[in-house]
Amino acid sequence: MPPIFLDGERLTLDEVVAIARRGARVALADEARPRLAASRAWVDELIARGTPTVYGVNTGFGVFANVSVPPDAAARLMRNLILSHCAGVGEPFPEEVARATMVIRANTLAKGFSGVRPLIVETLIEMLNRGVHPLIPSKGSVGASGDLAPLAHLALVLSRNAADRDEESGEAIFRGERMSGKRAMQLAGIPRVELQAKEGLALINGATVSAALAALAVADAENLARHADVALALSLEALCGCSAAFDARVHRAAGHRGQSETAQNVRRLIEGSRLVDSRARVQDAYAFRCAPQVIGAAREAMAYARRVVAEEINAATDNPLIFVEPAGEPQALAGGNFHGEGLALAMDLLGMAVAEIGSIAERRIFRLCNAHLSDGLPMMLIAEGGAHSGLMMAQVTAAALVSENKTLAHPDSVDSIPTSADQEDHVSMAMNAARHAREIVWNTTRILAIELMAAAQGVDLRLRALGGGVERLGRGTRVAHARLRRAIPFLERDRALTPAIERAVELMASGELLVE
């Protein structure tokens, strides 16, 4: 496979996922090199002559922005910046988050507005290609001036000073082993870099960890929405539900693209079913009848989040930005592209949208497990209730996850707390929003896994009662049911359910349940 080339302009969300999860190789695009060289040359010139005063190049940071730093202290300033900002706490992020962070930061720097040497971008790329994954603490960012503390932990692995102390090199995972950053880079054969003027600031000044979390969360949420349609269709079969609510005319009358997509998917899955519409009911409960409206609205929220993240991973997000124009003097302009408000809002919306998919799915699980609501299915979807508890606790687990999602879905973007002696007086909380959205996606994936198990169990019990086989199912649901049953056997008697839930999660991750 050819590498994915970084030019600062065309990195896609799907490429970030491929690099983060599947180890796709990365290279610096040739067209990025002249831009990197031009902005770096201006920084070198500024340091040599000592003027003008440019924030973060020959000044301190944050509240110390007006404190001048002499040219001969530029390298020490960068090293101190990285060391002082390594203040993150909490469990480190998984390797996929570190990889997504590195590629997004490398792409941001490749735009050529940051004043860094190509060496900085190339070192990040080599870390990706050779599998050095810095340990990045999961807490400690307010999302402006970007994800400073988390990114400083990444930069500590990449960089060094003359003393090059092992204990000041951070930590990394290399070939499955946790070790100092210095040792990881040595084993990988990657020289660590002595940062020059502006380079430390450029590495940490942006909401890049937030963007990495967001990219992975969006990809997983989109996959989850596709499987929500499958779970809904199987549950509809088990309940012998009504198809009228999925009629294309109903959704054309509303005009919402997302709900039309869900309804179309369900129609395709249940096509040819002899269970759906086999009862005299006029309409079903909202958990079925209004599912296209709920899942569809979530789909549209995901589309918005994808657009915001796609823009962010190709944005110049540090401060100041250096503009080297063909005509006129180069300029360093102080701005606020590091502020993660767009990501925070998008992740809050994504979290709420996915939480709603989980909420309505749990209501379908509840109906399947309740003999008073399931149109003839046995209580808790087990033939010998009393002696066996069936899916009783699986429904309780789904309820617990739904309840947790309600707390996690409280918007982070409406919160702000001043930092840096009020110099940074409004912050985005983007990383909190992205972390919470990702956790909601994790929870809701398990809720859907439980619905898939419950729906398959309900289908089998229904078919037994009717004395028929799987040919009664729709063309798509028949395939999805068969693939579920290959991995998760029918629940004849009580057994531990957690392994089955995780097998369903694995099926969703692989896409095996999706029917073309």
Catalytic residues: 55
**Rounded distance, CA 55 to CA 35, Å?**
21
As beta bridge partners, residue 179 has 172
**Rounded distance, CA 272 to CA 495, Å?**
34
Q: Could you tell me if 110 and 32 are in contact, meaning their C-beta atoms sit under 8 angstroms apart?
A: yes
**Rounded distance, CA 54 to CA 58, Å?**
6
Q: Could you tell me if 235 and 455 are in contact, meaning their C-beta atoms sit under 8 angstroms apart?
A: yes
Structure tokens at 284: 């079903």
**Rounded distance, CA 262 to CA 403, Å?**
25
Distances (CA, A) of 306 to 14, 18, 107, 354: 10, 16, 18, 14
What letter would DSSP give residue 513? T
343-371 exposure pattern, b = at least 16 Cβ within 10 A, e = fewer: bbbbbbbbbbbbbbbbbbbbbbbbbbbee
Q: Could you tell me if 247 and 283 are in contact, meaning their C-beta atoms sit under 8 angstroms apart?
A: no
Residue 261 DSSP SS3: helix
Task: Please give the order of strands across the beta sheet that includes 177-180.
Answer: 132-134, 171-174, 177-180
Amino acid sitting at position 241: G
121-159 exposure pattern, b = at least 16 Cβ within 10 A, e = fewer: bbbbbbbbbebbbbbbbbebbbbbbbbbbbbbbbbbbbb
**Rounded distance, CA 41 to CA 61, Å?**
22
Q: Half-sphere exposure of residue 72, counting CA atoms within 13 Å on the CB side?
A: 0
Q: How far apart are the first and last CA of the chain?
A: 26
In total, the chain counts a number of residues equal to 516
As beta bridge partners, residue 4 has 26
Residue 27 DSSP SS3: strand
| Helix or strand run (H / E) with residue 4 | strand 4-6
250: left (phi over 0), alpha (psi -120 to 50) or beta: alpha
**Rounded distance, CA 326 to CA 323, Å?**
10
